[in-house]
Amino acid sequence: MNESTEIINEILQSLGIDTAYRTDALTLLEKGESRYLRDLKLNLTSTLTSEHLNTKECALIGLATAINNNNSLLIQFFNRYAEEQGATPADTAEAAGCASLLASNNVFYRFRHFTQKEKYGQIPARIRMQLMMKPVTGKEFFELMSLAISAVNGCEMCVNAHEDSLIKLGATEERIFDAVRITSLVTATGKIVF
């Protein structure tokens, strides 16, 4: 067994996936004995902890990102990890709700931002957002998940609005940065394992 296969097996085992599992992307990395596999393994591991987020928060951001990206294997992994870190069913449901709500908001507000038409800014959005009003995970953390998902979905207006809200709520820039770092790495992992 070569080093690439060993690393892939370690990645799959850490995710709770049978080591025989392969995607086309994993096969390409394995056959090419890509050095990227080491990076992938370390990057995935670094999504699980943070100096600025607790492990439950890391898990919930990972879960919201996996749901946003429609990645079943990572949804299962981050849901298990969130539960192991003390997340309740209400917490994990909120991560799912956040991913769905932000999917609609990011499309809608990106449209408003792209068109730059004053008229579209005057028409009511008519998107229900009660989930944002009193989140079970707390206002600051819900904003953090919202920012992370908005970054993945590329909504500049939403990223700026959530970042501004977070600063006003007392979040540090390091905390914000780490949430986006985690969501970017979960997204990258999902390009290889899905």
8 Å CB contact between 189 and 74: yes
CATH code of the domain containing 95: 1.20.1290.10
8 Å CB contact between 172 and 49: no
User: Which string of DSSP letters, residue by residue, matches 81-110?
Assistant: HHHHTT--HHHHHHHHHHHHHHHHHHHHHH
pLDDT beyond 90 at 100: yes
| One domain, residues 68 and 114 | yes
58 is catalytic: no
98 is catalytic: no
Predicted pLDDT at 1: 83
> Whole domain around residue 5: which residue ranges?
1-46
pLDDT 10s digits, 47-95: 999 999 999 999 999 999 999 999 999 999 999 999 999 999 999 999 9
Which of the following is catalytic: 37, 155, 166, 171?
155
Percent of the chain at pLDDT exceeding 90:
97
Average pLDDT over residues 125-153: 95
pTM for this prediction = 0.95
Residue 190 lies in a domain: no
Quote the DSSP letter at residue 18. Answer: -
Residue 55 burial class via C-beta count within 10 angstroms: exposed 0-12, middle 13-18, buried 19 and up? middle
Residue 122 lies in a domain: yes
8 Å CB contact between 14 and 45: yes
8 Å CB contact between 194 and 23: yes
What separation in angstroms does the CA of 150 have from each of 61, 71, 106? 12, 17, 6
Which of the following is catalytic: 158, 180, 182, 186?
158
| One domain, residues 84 and 37 | no
| One domain, residues 61 and 25 | no
- Name every residue whose Cβ is closer than 8 Å to that of residue 47 and which is 6 or more positions away in sequence: 58, 62, 182, 185, 186, 189
